[in-house]
Amino acid sequence: MVNGPCIAELNPSHPNGCEPNWSVPMEPAKRRLLERIDGDHDLLIAFLQQFIRCRTPNPPGDTRSAARHVQALLDNHGVTYHIIAPNETMPNIVANFAAAKPGRHLALNGHIDVFPVGSGEGWTREPWGGELVDGKIYGRGACDMKAGTTASLFTFLYLREMREHLCGQLTLSAVSDEETFGPWGARYLFEHHPEIIGDCCLSAEPSSPLTLRFGEKGKLWLKFRVRTAGAHGAYTHMSRSATGIAAEVIGELKHLADLPVPRIGNIAAALDQAAEVVDRAYGQGASAIVQRVTVNPGLIHGGLKVNMVAAQCDFEVDVRLPVGMTAPAIRAEVDRIVARFPEVSYVQDIYDPPSWNAPDAEMAEIVRHNAQALAAIDPTPVVSLGGTDTRLWRYKDVPAIVYGPAPTGMGSVDEHVTVEEFFHVMRCHALSAFDYMSRTA
């Protein structure tokens, strides 16, 4: 489990803990925005807690309860929005407003589905409880990413109230089907509603306050099929074991991690310099795999009975590709491995190439400035280990920046977000969106 440092640990000299640093010079409109957030302290916490209590594991991906929770908030504020649901169990909510003056188009994106919990074994708090204990809000989706989506929702609401003083337009998309990279969420919106894309995207996916993500590794998901004649468990001379062959192939696939990766100029240099921060934010060893291929055999199903030689085994492998690596290079090596096992075949399930934009993109600099002003933290630009919907913006050459809470317990047990980090992200997103929309170009 990743246990990221809290704000106070990130910068022990910062005098105010989770409170904004009021001693930093700040224009009156931004100061009023911070006061608005502080005035909604209890409302924001209560909204997030109830958001977590909406059970939206994906799979199966039914997010209707969370969508109703979001709709109620927007309804209470008189916001016009659209529900786009090509799959009725996976609605997407899109809202937009135009500011008083012409300018650019900022997109805020967050998802409302979460990882499954399974049996709940290992959790010390109710996975769907949204409990607030010792300054931490627990539950599946707390950090990935219902805290971040809450920040996007309220950023939209606060800036909508200030639209007479802003430029351009702001679009909010709260989407489903992100955790499985499925076709019914942001992918569908990009294909059928490109008006959501805009000129820049800001997301509060978990990143840790220490880091700001300007890119992410790609993913290549492969499905393998192993078939043999099978036999009685005592008659191993009659047939090879499908599960045994699967184990051999998986062992060979692990060597994909040793493939050389082309270095992409300033991106590789930036990641080299960020190594210490990456380990601090995501756990010791994280920096060693940012620029390497990783292999995870996530699913294996095989055999019928312990005393039978398995005649079938199916397994799925998640390969993550660093910047500079492509699927054809990986598949060429996989083909070489599979050619040695006539019982094995495979297909490519999903491929999303690595994505990145300039580490010093305008929004990246805006977020860094506000993080420093709020908590004296300068988040280091990095490439994410995991994937997010922000890749879709980068594929369109639209800069997309991720800044969110630490990924504490993400995909594991006792997932939580600290109240301190939640409000830091909330403030930083509101101020950064305000800054971007205060500029005509």
Q: What distance in Å separates the CA atoms of residue 158 and residue 214, rounded to the nearest whole number?
A: 25
pLDDT digits (tens, 9 = 90+) for 301-323: 999 999 999 999 999 999 999 99
- Residue 153 sits in the same domain as residue 258: no
Among 334, 352, 370, the domain-final residue is 352
Domain of residue 235, CATH code: 3.30.70.360
Is residue 264's pLDDT more than 90? Answer: no
CATH number assigned to the domain comprising residue 422: 3.40.630.10
346 shares its domain with 360:
no
pLDDT tens readout for residues 113-135: 999 999 999 999 999 999 999 99
Mean pLDDT, rounded, for 95-111: 97
Q: Are residues 404 and 264 in the same domain?
A: no
What's the confidence (pLDDT) of residue 4? 55
**For the chain, how many structural domains are there in total?**
2
In a domain, 2, yes or no: no
Number of Cβ within a 10 Å radius of residue 294: 16
Per-residue pLDDT tens over the stretch 243-255: 999 999 999 999 9
Would you place residue 222 in the very low, low, confident or very high pLDDT band (cuts 50, 70, 90)?
Answer: very high
The average pLDDT across 362-383 equals 96
- Residue 336 belongs to domain spanning: 218-352
Q: Do 291 and 346 lie in a common domain? A: yes
Same-domain check for residues 250 and 128: no
pLDDT for 290 equals: 94
Q: Are 73 and 47 in contact (CB under 8 A)?
A: yes
Q: What global pTM score does this model have?
A: 0.90
Q: Which of 153, 152, 126 is nearest to 137 (CA)?
A: 126
Q: How far apart are CA 235 and CA 246, in angstroms?
A: 19
Residue 164 class from Cβ within 10 Å (0-12 exposed, 13-18 middle, 19+ buried)?
Answer: exposed
Nearest-angstrom CA–CA distance, 385 and 219:
10
End-to-end CA distance of the chain: 42
Whether residue 143 sits in one domain with residue 65: yes
Q: How many residues does the chain have?
A: 441
* Inside any domain, residue 18: yes
